[in-house]
Amino acid sequence: MALIVVVDDDIMIRTTLREVLELNGHTVLEAAEGDACFKHFETARPELVITDIFMPGKGGLETVFELSHHWPEIRIIAMSTGRPGVHDHLKLANTFGADRILPKPFNTKQVLTMVKELLATEKQVEQTVPV
């Protein structure tokens, strides 16, 4: 199956997602914030990143932007709680390169469906042609 990185400062969410994804055949790496996520790219090339938006250190919006800029083929799910204004942040994450947005709370079936859909399709990467 796929190599997936779960990025969230909440250890319970990371653990739950890791367990659910591993039960479905995926290999999962964890990170508590964006900089830790990028360390995984030194030794592996994940196919999918699931990241929270609000985290200490490098937050989710910056993480989504940098991932989509440096590795445009990586599929990204951005997630966050239903705090006021969060939906705007999730939309912004989508603009920055997230393929899907996932408001918290969510159920594991929603996550597995998104993961399956994203992994089943090839990500459309815009090619720029030199002039």
The domain segmentation of the chain, as residue ranges, is 3-120
Of residues 21, 55, 13, 17, the one with CA closest to residue 36: 55
pLDDT of residue 82: 60
Kindly state the DSSP code that residue 75 receives in the 8-state scheme. Answer: E
- Cis, peptide link before residue 105, omega less than 30° from 0: yes
pLDDT of residue 81: 78
Please give the average per-residue pLDDT across 90-112, as a whole number. Answer: 89
Of residues 63, 48, 47, the one with CA closest to residue 9: 63
Kindly state the DSSP code that residue 40 receives in the 8-state scheme. Answer: G
Report the C-alpha gap between 107 and 124 in whole angstroms. 27
Rg (CA), the chain: 14
The residue type of 72 is P
Taking the domain 3-120, which CATH number applies? 3.40.50.2300
Compare 131 and 124 and report the one with higher pLDDT.
124
